[in-house]
Structure 1
Amino acid sequence: MAQPTLFAQTMRAGRKHSTGLFLLSFLANLLLLASSVYMLQVFDRVLASGSFDTLMWLSVIALLAIVTYGFLEFARRKVLSRTGAWISAELSPEVIRRSISDRLETGRSPAGLGDVQDIRNFIGGDAILAFLDAPWTPVFIAVIWMMHPVLGVIAVAGAIVLFLIGVLNDLVTRRRQAEANVKLRQVQNDAQAFVENAETLTGMGMIGSVLARWQASRDVADQEGAGATELSSVLFNLSRAIRLGLQIAILGAGAALVLMTELTAGGMIAASIILARALSPVERAISAWKAFGSYRLASRRLEALFRATKEPTKRVSLPKPDGKLFVKDLRYFAPDTRAPLVKSVSLQLEPGQLCGVLGPSGSGKSSLCRLLVGAWRPSFGEIRLDGAELAEWDSEERGRYVGYLPQQVELFTGTVAENIARMGDVDDAKVLAAAKKSGAHEMILALPEGYETRLGQFRDQLSGGQKQRIGLARALYDDPSLIVLDEPNSNLDGNGEIALQHALAGMKKAGQTVVVVTHVPSLLRQVDKVAVIKDGTLQKFGDRDEVLREMMAKPRPAPTQTKEAAE
């Protein structure tokens, strides 16, 4: 039997207040009978006896019951609201972590924070109250039946009809609403991507075209969602009309019973009020079905995400490596298309060696970088750091010993110092040391607030070169043993190139193992080894001078024999 996932365990823990909620719901619904009992007593006793004292005390008791109901209702909503907030707080960080992991493993993530929000909205909203109140509908119907069986038959028939409408609503709208929600979420993601790439869209005059395509996609999603919503609305309005008709029916039947002296006038009015309360949860449940559908779909997605990703395990803490890198028969296939991105790579670097990686665009250099830092898991082969496979290291622990500068440098919301410190606790000495080693110290001091300059989405006005230099400082933070630089000079000016040269010399002097992808020959002056990759396969690997000599050597044409020589 499969073990319950962390998601299932969290949801189970969130249900620990179920018993208390059912008790509160029972008491709240019981107190709602106060108005019916009050009406029954007023019509049948007070008006008949003419006692003002009885009327006063009945009114005081009824008001106390309603006030108590208000407190109980507040308590129910408070418990649900806090439960939803607790579940969101427990799941959100784990969902982000697992989404990142699944995105790297499979190329996509089945769930996200939007699903967590759907669960929180359902648990903390009005929809779940309708489901909590629905079990007490038979109790109210039983009370009506005790007043008179004819009224009970009307109440039972009405409840059955409304229940069937609710089932029909689920059958005809569930699938359509789920598909519409998926498409609407994709449309929202596309819109966010447009905003994030505002410079490209504006600079190339693409706003109109992408918005036209986005509008068409949104219209399709809206139409599917609107169809399901309209159908649900029709069924909801039908249920409301039936409920109002039932109240007229029960009043009419009650009046007839009063005329036949089988029911009192107070009983007639009370039965009408109780019926309205009995059918209200069923009617509300129909209108809340959309929220329930979103909750159910979100639960499935999150369960799939948690089942697809491994639970974090406690690993033995390994000492800081010296930087010995061993790669054997490394292969990697794209998770979505299974296309081979890295076909065959084997190499070995000793601590303190610098390796330059050369190759044409699309040859697999960036893929190799992601594999070397543990961002991607190899499909076949092995990568070892000081003899230990990368997978044997805890991700957080390994990250302290590995520096990585990707082609596209992303800086996150926070200060420059926080970004260099990898968004952890800022150690001023280590931040300054990393900035100076990367040659970014003077550039950072020239920023409006120096190391305290705020960065982040829509506020980051740094140039590509400035981002790259801060990214290099982040890679060098806390003196990692292995440093992987993917085209670190792609956005650098002359001063940045010089700073990078000095930084590479410093890494070599510090005994750090460095893998640097570059197309610039000047950077190769610093390297000890050169690896040449083509079509995902390592073509050449060896000492710099030897490999470059082979690459520069041009094959001489075979000598042609003249006719005379042949003779």
Structure 2
Amino acid sequence: MHQLEHKISKALSACRSAFLLAGAFSLCINLLMLTVPIYLFQVFDRVLLSGSIDTLLVLSLGALIALTSLAVFEVLRRMILTRIGVRIETILGGPVLAASLKLKPDGNHGNLQGLRDINQLRSFVTGPVVPLMFDALLSPVYLLIVYFIHPMLGALALIGAVLLFCCALANQKLTSKPLRQSGLYSRRAMSTAENHIRNAEIVHALGMTADSVSLWGKDNALALHESAVAGDRSAYITAASKFIRLVLQIGLLGWGAYLVINNQLTAGMMMAASIISGRALAPVEGSIEGWRNTVFAWQAYTRLKEFVDWPASDDALTLPVPAGQLVVEKLSFYVQGQQEPILSNISFAVEPGESVAIIGPTAAGKSTLARLIVGGLPPSAGCVRLDGMDIRNWNREQLGVHLGYQPQNVELFPGSVSQNIARMKEDADDGKIVEAARLAGVEELISNLPNGYQTVIGIDGAPLSGGQKQRIALARSFFGDPKLVILDEPDANLDEQGTQALIKTIADASERKITVVAITQRATLLRYVDKILMMRDGQVIAFGERDEILSRLMNANAVRGKRKRKRGAA
């Protein structure tokens, strides 16, 4: 069983006693719902015949007390269901968000659908459908009471219940598929919209607004069409169920009147039978109208059960503080559907405090290697070891303290500069924030910001430029006590001043025995690292000391230059 599926079972188990209590209150509510028919029965068949005002007052007082109790139980049931919904979201919200934040095996990010599904479940539990389901369980009791009043009336009410049940089955059969398709298209449309909003600047700059709306509109139109189909079918069935219930009410009253005329029934019993049968059929009819919510809630529950959650890192042992030795052993990575591996049999080792530059053409697999090293992707074969221990066996919370990572696409979080450097930790030590900024060489940059460390960064990274964001992210990588720092093209958006600050940062990190692995497309950094690893087509073609690799590169460039000159002369 996946961790998240276990959490779902745990959440439902934790709410079992509350559901039972809600069921007990539902039983009390339905018993007290007999107050009105019993009151009418007594008034018609006892008070009106005897003319006793005292009896009327006593009956009225008893009915008032019963209806007050009914209102109290209804409030309590609603409060319990509300708290069940809150508890489900409380138990599942954190694990679902944590699972969404993890990368899938194909390298893609999770999404917010899991949180939407939890919200859907909570809305269903706290909505009107669940109380109707509780009430529907007691419908046979009402039908039995009608039967005891008179078997013919009981038989007529049972026929109505069967017909309404058939309507419910027809509604389920005819609307399930279009509702399922509507939900699928709707989620796809929302995913498209979220993606385009995330890239709004590109959409606006390249004049892609009309195309973006069109792409969203296609899926949204399909969602609306399927929803309309389901709505139309449900409307017919709902109308039919109301027709059946009203005809049944008239039939019960008419047949009851006939029995009263023939002295087989009293007027009070006739009225009571009509009201009780209506109460018996109301939950079934209400369940038909609320079927859409039931389908959506079930789909949400099913998706949550299928939500893939990787093994919890909390189960891993807390290991000694690493020294920073990095060993990559026969590492390979495949993506399903692709014949060629993205990485194939990568092996190299870096000692604590050493710096390594990874170079190679586009699509060589450099960024994928970085993601595998930090544990963002699960390897298809081989492993990454930090101080001899497989990276997957480290407690993620402990590993995060000793690991720094700057991805190729730098993103900062909404919040202050200091919060971003501190990795959004609420109890971060100010001294460590300043130390990380100093090590990354961004103190001067931060001091020139409007509010220094307290400058608020927006969702899009404003007011920082691309280079400034990259340098703040560099400081974030060195926050705390990192022993291994992975930098994916940290110099991509840097000017000369930023590049020099980066070079000094790598040198200072080496003095502090921090292992640095930097992916770069520029030759500037190569003169300031200890080792160089060259990649092409997902494989290592050279790895060694800096001077050795640079010498090989220079010789290779010289040979290519001679060949060019010869071809030019020819």
TM-score range, shorter chain: over 0.9
Corresponding position of 1:289: 291
SS across alignment from 1:5: helix
SS across alignment from 1:112: helix
Which whole-Å CA distance do the structure 2 matches of 1:2 and 1:332 have between them?
23
Distance 1:446 1:393, change over 3 A: same
Alpha-carbon offset, residue 250 of structure 1: 0.6
Q: Is 1:461–2:475 an aligned residue pair?
A: no
Which whole-Å CA distance do the structure 1 matches of 2:423 and 2:88 have between them?
28
Partner amino acid, structure 2, of 1:430: K
Unaligned runs of 5+ in 2: 564-570
Identity of aligned residues (%): 38
Distance 1:247 1:106, change over 3 A: farther
Which whole-Å CA distance do the structure 1 matches of 2:362 and 2:17 have between them?
56
Q: Deviations over 1:254-274 (max 9, x none)?
A: 111111111111111111111
Which whole-Å CA distance do the structure 2 matches of 1:100 and 1:133 have between them?
40
Alpha-carbon offset, residue 335 of structure 1: 4.8
Q: TM-score, normalised by structure 2?
A: 0.94
Which of these residues, 126, 129, 140, is aligned with residue 128 of structure 2? Answer: 126
Which whole-Å CA distance do the structure 2 matches of 1:287 and 1:139 have between them?
22
Alpha-carbon offset, residue 368 of structure 1: 0.6
Which whole-Å CA distance do the structure 1 matches of 2:30 and 2:266 have between them?
24
Q: Deviations over 1:164-213 (max 9, x none)?
A: 11112112222321222122112112212222211111111111111012
Distance 1:243 1:460, change over 3 A: farther
Alpha-carbon offset, residue 462 of structure 1: 2.0
Distance 1:376 1:136, change over 3 A: same
Which whole-Å CA distance do the structure 1 matches of 2:452 and 2:244 have between them?
69
1:73-112 equivalences in 2 (<5 Å): 73-101=74-102, 103-104=104-105, 107=108, 112=114
Which of these residues, 413, 435, 439, is aligned with residue 437 of structure 2? Answer: 435
1:112-261 equivalences in 2 (<5 Å): 112-261=114-263
Alpha-carbon offset, residue 80 of structure 1: 0.5
Distance 1:286 1:152, change over 3 A: same
Alpha-carbon offset, residue 339 of structure 1: 5.0
Corresponding position of 1:279: 281
Which whole-Å CA distance do the structure 2 matches of 1:392 and 1:459 have between them?
34
Distance 1:134 1:55, change over 3 A: same
SS across alignment from 2:559: coil
Corresponding position of 2:49: 48
Does the CA contact (< 8 Å) of 1:357 and 1:516 recur in 2?
Answer: yes
Distance 1:382 1:175, change over 3 A: same
Which whole-Å CA distance do the structure 2 matches of 1:539 and 1:150 have between them?
90
Q: Is 1:398–2:399 an aligned residue pair?
A: yes
Does the CA contact (< 8 Å) of 2:417 and 2:456 recur in 1?
Answer: yes
Does the CA contact (< 8 Å) of 1:134 and 1:282 recur in 2?
Answer: yes
Which whole-Å CA distance do the structure 2 matches of 1:197 and 1:178 have between them?
29
Distance 1:2 1:312, change over 3 A: closer
Q: Is 1:334–2:335 an aligned residue pair?
A: yes
Partner amino acid, structure 2, of 1:203: A
Which whole-Å CA distance do the structure 2 matches of 1:218 and 1:70 have between them?
42
Partner amino acid, structure 2, of 1:234: Y
SS across alignment from 1:542: strand
Partner amino acid, structure 2, of 1:504: I
Alpha-carbon offset, residue 453 of structure 1: 2.4
Distance 1:62 1:191, change over 3 A: same
Partner amino acid, structure 2, of 1:13: A
Alpha-carbon offset, residue 90 of structure 1: 0.7
RMSD over aligned CA atoms reads 2.0
Moved more, 44-53 or 80-89: 44-53
Partner amino acid, structure 2, of 1:85: V
Corresponding position of 1:555: 559
Q: Deviations over 1:477-508 (max 9, x none)?
A: 01301011000011122322222122112111
Which whole-Å CA distance do the structure 2 matches of 1:391 and 1:345 have between them?
17
SS across alignment from 2:469: helix
Corresponding position of 1:472: 474
Q: Deviations over 1:304-361 (max 9, x none)?
A: 225x533455222111111111112111112565751111311111111111111111
Alpha-carbon offset, residue 113 of structure 1: 0.9
Q: TM-score, normalised by structure 1?
A: 0.94
Q: Is 1:416–2:420 an aligned residue pair?
A: no
Moved more, 386-395 or 109-118: 109-118
Corresponding position of 2:566: none
Partner amino acid, structure 2, of 1:548: L
Alpha-carbon offset, residue 442 of structure 1: 2.1
Partner amino acid, structure 1, of 2:124: F
